[in-house]
Amino acid sequence: MKRLHEVYKTEIAPALVTQLGVKNVNATPKIIKIVVSVGVGKLSKDSKMLEAVESTLTRITGQKPAQTKARVSISNFKLREGQVVGYKVTLRGARMWDFLQKLTQLTFARVRDFRGISVKCIDDNGNLSLGFKEHLPFPEIRGDELDTVHGLEITIHSTAGDKKRGEALYRAFGFPFKEAVK
């Protein structure tokens, strides 16, 4: 299997030059980074849950996640300043390309009742945000060793600049988008 970064340089970028009408290959949209995050919410007081989330994020991304902590106290939500409210991992370089390849070629195929990604997931700057209700579709997770199931969010940042160029970039990478109903 060819590495996705090599495929981008040799096939995807030249195709985007002709499709988008760009004069220079270096002006084609690129993926800068991927952020994978998990919010623990009400379960933040359960240390076993926090360890499980940290462990699964480490296995999925191959990198130790950073804790995100509450900046202010909110009494209605029983939230205290400095309390752990989630974990996040920022992927760049080779790990980013490996994760992107795994996401497009393996993970989407393993999602239950998957009908495609909505084009509405792409924002006005060309970034793609996805949410998974459970972390089971990732190949590193085995179903028989689970204690708790949690969701996760994936945000893919690009240099697209607008929604149209972002959609062209993600379609070229093979993201399975829903076709518009007419």
Domain of 125: which CATH number?
3.30.1440.10
Does a structural domain hold residue 157? yes
Does a structural domain hold residue 154? yes
Encode pLDDT of 102-136 as tens digits. 888 888 777 877 888 888 899 999 999 998 877 76
Q: How far apart, in whole angstroms, are the C-alpha atoms of residue 138 and residue 146?
A: 13
Does a structural domain hold residue 24? no
Domain count, the chain: 1
**Nearest of 173, 94, 82 to residue 126 by alpha carbon:** 173
Residue ranges for the chain with pLDDT beneath 70: 1, 42, 44, 136, 142-147, 180-182
Q: How far apart, in whole angstroms, are the C-alpha atoms of residue 95 and residue 80?
A: 34
**What value does the CA radius of gyration of the chain take, rounded to a whole number of Å?**
18
Owning domain of residue 90: 30-167
* pLDDT of amino acid 151: 79
The token pair at 17 is 């030059």
